Structures are given as C-alpha cells and as structure tokens.
Amino acid sequence: MPEDRLSNPEVRVRFAPSPTGYLHVGGLRTALYNCLFARKHHGVFILRIEDTDRTRLVEGAVENLIQSLRWAGLDYDEGPGKDGPYGPYVQSQRLAIYRERADYLLQTDHAYRCFCTSERLEAMRKSIEKSKQSFKYDRTCLGLPESEVVKKVQDGVPYTIRMRVPDHTTVAFCDLVRQDVEINTANIDDQILIKSDGYPTYHMANVVDDHLMQISHVIRGEEWLSSTPKHVLLYRYFGWQPPAFAHLPLLLNPDRSKLSKRQGDVAVEDYRAKGYLSEALVNFVALLGWNPGDDREIFDRSGLVQEFSIERVNKAGAIFNLEKLNWLNEQHLRAKPSGELREWLREMLPDSGAAFSDDYLDHAIRLLRERISFPQDLLRLGSYFFQDPTTYDPEGIRKRWKEDSAAWLATLVSKMETVEAFTSEGLEVIYKEIASSLGVSNSELIHPTRLAISGLAGGPGLFELMEVLGRDTVIRRIRRALAVLSGVG
C-alpha cells in the first residue's frame, strides 16, 4: 500500500494472525481490509503475532506471514521489525502483562481458578454432545471454598483462570457490518482466560493488547462474532472503552461450504507459486464481501484505498470464484508495461535470454499480450519465438496439412527468398497472389505455414509473426517441416 503520512493516530487497526502455517486467503482479506481502512483514514496499521497457542506453532511461519504480506503490498507501520510505542508485538513476549490483568480479575471477582483436569472436561463435553446441547462449563470450581482454593494453589495443583460470566444478562454491541447484536449470557461459557501453562487464550490476550495498543477498530472474520460478547464483558470488567467492531463475511466455496483446502488452494503462497500477480489477488480478495457501489471490478491498490469503506462490506458469505480471479489476473497482467513483462520473460529463458534483443522480446510480447493469463504463458504459449519447433500438433496436421500443402509451401519459400522487404504487409500480398495463382483460399496457405513455423495450429497474426521471426528463421522452419511432413495429408 502507498506510504501515506500517518496524520490520524486515532485510527489504529491491527492484523493479528497466529503463526500456525501459511497465510490463508481469508487472512489476506482481513489484513487487506485493515490496511485499506488505515490508509483511507491516514491511520496506523499494526501487525501483531498471536503465538500463545504453543501446541500449534510452526517454525518459520512468522517469516512466511511477513513475506506474504509484503508480496501483497500490505506494509504495516508497527509490528515485528518495526517497533513502535506499544510493543512488543509478539504475544509470547507479553506474558507478564496478561498475568497482571488476570490477577486483577481474580481480585475483583470477575474470574476464578479452575482445577478441573482435561480428562474431566473432555468427559463432560462428550456427555453434553450426546444430548445434542452446546458445551458449557458446569462451574464446579466456582463454588470451591477460598481455603480449598488456597491449599490447591499451595500444593501446586495445575489450574486455569476462567472468566466469570454474569447470569441472565444481555450483552449488546454495535457491529459496523452486522449493526446491533445482542446475546444473552445464558449462551456464553465461562471462558478460560489463562491456561494451565501460563499462556493466555485468544480472548484474554486480544482484549488486553487491543486496549494497550489503542486499537480503535477491530476488523476480523465472522467466526469471531460469537466470541465478541465475552470480549465486551472483559472490557467492562477492566473499565475500558471497547473499540468499534466489524466482522467480515465468511469466504465460501461455489457449493457455499466454508472455504477449505479440501476444495482447492487456500494459501497465498500457493497462488503466488502458480503465477498469480499480487495486485490481481489483492483486487480479487477485496471484492470478496465488499463492492464500490457500482459495476467496477478492476482496481489497483491506490484505487482500493480511495474507494474502500466498511459501510459497503456485505453480511452475506462471499463466493470464492476462481474464474473471476483468473480473469482479473489476465487483466492486470495484460496491462503491464512491456519492460516489466520483458524482465519476467528473461528470467524464464536460458541464460536470461542473452541471445535476444530487447526489441525482439518486446515484439514477441506485443503479439502474445492478449493471449496470456499468467507470466509463464509468455514462454509456454510463445516458445516458438525462442526455438524452432521439433514437433507438430497432431490435430493441426490432421485438420490443416493437406496433400498439396508441401508443394504450396515450397512455392511460397521460393517467393520469400526473393521478396525485397520481409514485412507483414508484403507477406500478405504474396500470399494473396500465390493463393490466387493456385486457385486456393488464403487459409489453405496460412494454416500449414503456421504449423510449420510454430508447430501449433493457433497463435497470433501469421504475417506479423513471420515478420518478427525474420526471413531466415521462417524459411529454415518451413523447409524442416517440408522434410518431416512431406507425404502427410
């Protein structure tokens, strides 16, 4: 995103992923919307690493996340490697802060110690699931006498710290996407805030950090909507003002199931490896749940900053349409300057394409531009610009190479050898003249010629292609095809 001047520090948003692997496209959308919102309002975009679930950590995941964000052009203002006034920005480095806040909740009777073992909790969960009810902790430890609690602590019995949810209370908050939301505490569990290993849960850590980092707007996925009342209660217990909330719609497969790896790629790095442009993926992801209010679909990053608003984020789930992504990739790729496409092409060619001039590559790109969907298509679809064909499309031979094709092309070669200017205009005139003299249509000469010089049955305009390849190359390739394909037809 453009490096706007941070002139409105009152707008502070964060993207807070867990380093459990790759960056999911849903995570990319969350990061994008936060970044767009910050840039639109000249605010601050923060990256915070939520690594308190130690059982799910993946080595190198933080570096991968940061690399993926940078590739997408989502540069954060504060976070790992960009220290600001509210660090550290890695939660495992903030344990003392969470412990202090948990002690406060214990002292104010808004939390209690729970000594239940994981075995007891799992047995209770299975029993409740059999009755098809939602699991809620039965508050066995809430009623323990203080003397028993003290003794268990002194004896070193492991415990968690649970939030004490008030009975028969309605928790209400306004969501910028969902509008007014109300949930009765009868449906809210006494959430664990501090685990037995001393690490906080997401609910505890994100509330504490959002307040201490002065987050003004929490923009996150819909899956956290049901947890927000717990967070609102924690803000109330601490005496803090909650931020504004905005919960983004789910990403769905075409069959409206939740987007998952079972039905296709979901990692940003997978799309990058396949040749999708970062600006195309960002454009596509931006439209998953948001629209500009009209029928525009193609945006660069600065255009997204200018147009984005939370008010235009939809409630309904967004369909991940791969065909739309492919189309957007084509549009962004084909709009690239020739110089950028040329550098990509040189990277794909042996020896960086040292045998080909910039002018030659630019001509090849001009003929290929409207046919490519991915950068690698420059070489995949246009290999004949860089090497003589060694095989010929069997279907093209069957349909395009006739009994007389070899004789007709031999006549053409004789004429090509003597023509003064080997240009697309001059070649077109020659083909019309010879077709007329032979009593055949232009296409009966054009199709076998294309097959001979490219090995393919389709491609860019033949006469332009021949001009770019040059007289010597064209004649050499036709003669080889005559040797290989004579007698075919």
Ramachandran angles phi, psi of 176, nearest 5°: -65, -20
261 a catalytic residue: yes
User: Of 151, 258, 261, 399, which one is the catalytic site residue?
Assistant: 261
The rounded distance, in Å, linking the Cα atoms of 377 and 356 is 18
The residues assigned a catalytic role are 261
